[in-house]
Structure 1
Amino acid sequence: MRVSLIQLEVDLSVPAADRLAEAAELVRGRAGDHLVVLPELWLAGGWDYARWDEDAEALDGPTARTMADAARDAGVWLHAGSIVELGPDGAHYNTSLLIGPDGLRRAAYRKIHRFGFDSGEAALMGPGDEIVTCPTPFGTIGLATCYDLRFPEMFRLLLDQGTEVLVVPAAWPARRVEHWRLFARARAVENQVFVLACNTAGEQAGLAQGGHSMVVDPWGEILAEAGTGFQVLTAEIDTALVAKTRADFPVLKDRRLGR
């Protein structure tokens, strides 16, 4: 299968409507791919907290509708990154959306681990409480977001729900980009899954973003890696390698804890 990670350079000085239209056209340009992935909070900004009240929207809001149209037009599965969701309870959530090639939402995941140590996202967003996976024609996708990568116990739960391809949108800063690269590979190796890790580029609220989106195979090999600017990173993956890796090196059979 062919996957594309669209490493957007998030420029919050550009009107959100223009950036939304541009992202939709980039998705439409990926016709022929099987799965396309966008980064975390690419429209509202992962670090510009002052915008979140203004940019919060429902799961069926303008971002979701625009991305659904783009996925349908391109005929692709689309992980549309994440939005600031305005929940029915009035709280905000960092929520990622998985859309099918028919334009229907197939899954939504509210980020469980919020960054900020009691400030920023941790104070302004509600926590998710569900492990989310979704069956697709090319394997079961498991959903996680950015800071989640630091919590390996979450990925064991995703593994136990059948995950074969892990999709991780992010707004990971440049100053910790080596952690990003390390964790993406570690989660692939320890769970014997593909990891599609899509980061942002550019600068948000004065904070340089790390880029280095990656496609990692179940052995931890980096099949493709972006630089630090805007880039569409495309790779061919064979999801049959997940079962083969687990058969050739059946380390998961020796688990004793957490099951």
Structure 2
Amino acid sequence: MRASLIQIAVEAGESVESRRERVGSLVREQAGSADLVVLPELWTTGAFAYELFGSEAEPLRGPTYEAMAKAASDAGVWLHAGSIPEQDPAGPLYNTSLVFSPSGELAAVYRKIHRFGFDRGEAVLMGAGEDLVTVRLPETTVGVATCYDLRFPELFRGLVDAGAETFVLSAGWPERRRAHWTLLAQARAVENQAFVLACGTAGTHAGVPQAGHSIVVDPWGEVLAEAGAGEQVLTVEFDPGKVAATREQFPALKDRMLGLRTPGR
């Protein structure tokens, strides 16, 4: 299976409309060279451009949906279209990921569960999703996650229990915590014996330099490919069958102890 992670540069001065058009072209360029294409988190606005979330929020089936559905269909690829600030007519803003099939049909919607910012930014501006999301591709079952989710191993355990063999994560991860990005991507791969495809952004979001360094990790924690700091298309070939082989060869997941008691209870 071949995957292309498009590490988009988000810079001030480029309009959302221009970036949307440019990204659509980059997706189309993957036709014939990738089965799965992955985009970063909040690439329309920038993950730290909090002041733009409200003004640039879209309905689920808004302009980014339309552009990315068309790009997926034109390229004939599965497309994790990163995430957008979604304006739910019946509720708050959400950090929402869209996954499209090679025919351009909407295959999955994931609203980010763990919102970053503590008492500001995304944590107060956006609502929290509640549902784990998996997507069955012909070659593998994908579990969907977004950026800050990477710090919460229980989410990934839940995705494994739902059948996930490959984690696909979009992010806008800051450069100052890049060491955590690499470490956590490898940890999630090793502990769940799964592939991790983690796509970040380049550039500077509202004054926050981005880490870049999109990464693909195999079930043993080996880094198969890693991008640099700038805008880049990272393409890698991997064997989804390695997940089952790893879990059979080293069946650690079978030794999970569930329902452990808290002392004193």
Equivalent position of 2:220 in the other structure: 219
State the 1:88 CA deviation.
2.7
Unaligned runs of 5+ in 2: 261-265
Q: Secondary structure at the match of 1:190?
A: helix
> 1: CA distance between counterparts of 2:247 and 2:191?
11
Equivalent position of 2:44 in the other structure: 43
Equivalent position of 1:207 in the other structure: 208
In the comparison of the two structures, how many residue pairs are matched? 259
- What's the % identity of the aligned pairs? 60
Equivalent position of 1:104 in the other structure: 105
After TM superposition, the score normalised by the length of structure 2 is 0.96
Unaligned runs of 5+ in 1: none
Alignment of 1:83-162 (within 5 A): 83-162=84-163
Q: Deviations over 1:210-236 (max 9, x none)?
A: 001001101010000001000100000
RMSD over equivalenced CA pairs, Å: 0.9
Alignment of 1:73-88 (within 5 A): 73-88=74-89
Alignment of 1:178-193 (within 5 A): 178-193=179-194
Alignment of 1:41-80 (within 5 A): 41-80=42-81
What code does the residue aligned with 1:28 have? R
> 2: CA distance between counterparts of 1:43 and 1:125?
16
State the 1:62 CA deviation.
0.4
> 2: CA distance between counterparts of 1:107 and 1:88?
19
1:15 aligns with 2:15: yes
Equivalent position of 2:263 in the other structure: none
What code does the residue aligned with 2:16 have? A
After the TM superposition, list the runs of 4 or more consecutive aligned residues in structure 1 that deviate by more than 6 angstroms. Answer: none
State the 1:257 CA deviation.
1.8
> 1: CA distance between counterparts of 2:222 and 2:244?
16
What code does the residue aligned with 1:68 have? A
Q: Deviations over 1:62-97 (max 9, x none)?
A: 001100000000000000000001113241000001
Equivalent position of 1:29 in the other structure: 29
State the 1:136 CA deviation.
1.1
State the 1:258 CA deviation.
5.2
Q: Secondary structure at the match of 1:95?
A: strand
Q: Secondary structure at the match of 2:40?
A: coil
State the 1:240 CA deviation.
0.3
What code does the residue aligned with 1:169 have? S
Q: Deviations over 1:16-49 (max 9, x none)?
A: 1110000000000000210000000000211111
> 2: CA distance between counterparts of 1:249 and 1:43?
41
What code does the residue aligned with 1:206 have? G
